[in-house]
């Protein structure tokens, strides 16, 4: 799996080599796939392990992927059988935020 550093190095390499738009588009699409695959990191949200992993992932994030709510957030939200326990502060914050966003839309 790529890291942010790998992604930045890849972008720098593309810029240095002055590649055409097509390889850059392919690179961006591959990043979308990597971001979407993060959802599989929370395989069993109904167990204690699932919400804990979700909570850890959201420690430094407002959303699962990206800087705004996305289909990834909605997918995990729907997959949760119930709101996360209050012991999972980050997951609870995220859950309540998604609920609020859904109320305003």
pLDDT given for residue 64 in this prediction: 92
Q: What residues contact residue 32 under an 8 Å CB cut-off, 6+ apart? A: none
pLDDT given for residue 21 in this prediction: 52
pLDDT given for residue 54 in this prediction: 93
Q: What residues contact residue 1 under an 8 Å CB cut-off, 6+ apart? A: 34, 37
3-class secondary structure per residue, 71-85? HHHHHHHHHCCCCCC
pLDDT given for residue 73 in this prediction: 92
* pLDDT, averaged in runs of 10, over the chain (105 residues): 48 50 52 51 78 93 92 89 93 96 88
pLDDT given for residue 62 in this prediction: 96
């Amino acid at each position: 799996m790529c890291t942010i550093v790998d992604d930045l190095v890849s972008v720098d390499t593309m810029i240095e080599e002055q590649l055409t738009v097509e390889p850059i588009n392919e690179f961006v699409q591959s990043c979308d796939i990597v971001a979407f695959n993060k959802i599989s990191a929370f395989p069993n949200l109904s167990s204690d392990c699932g919400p804990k992993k979700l909570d850890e992932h959201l420690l430094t994030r407002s959303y699962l992927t990206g800087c705004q709510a996305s289909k990834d957030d909605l997918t995990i939200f729907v997959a949760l059988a119930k709101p996360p326990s209050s012991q999972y502060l980050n997951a609870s914050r995220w859950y309540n935020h998604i609920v609020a966003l859904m109320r305003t839309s």
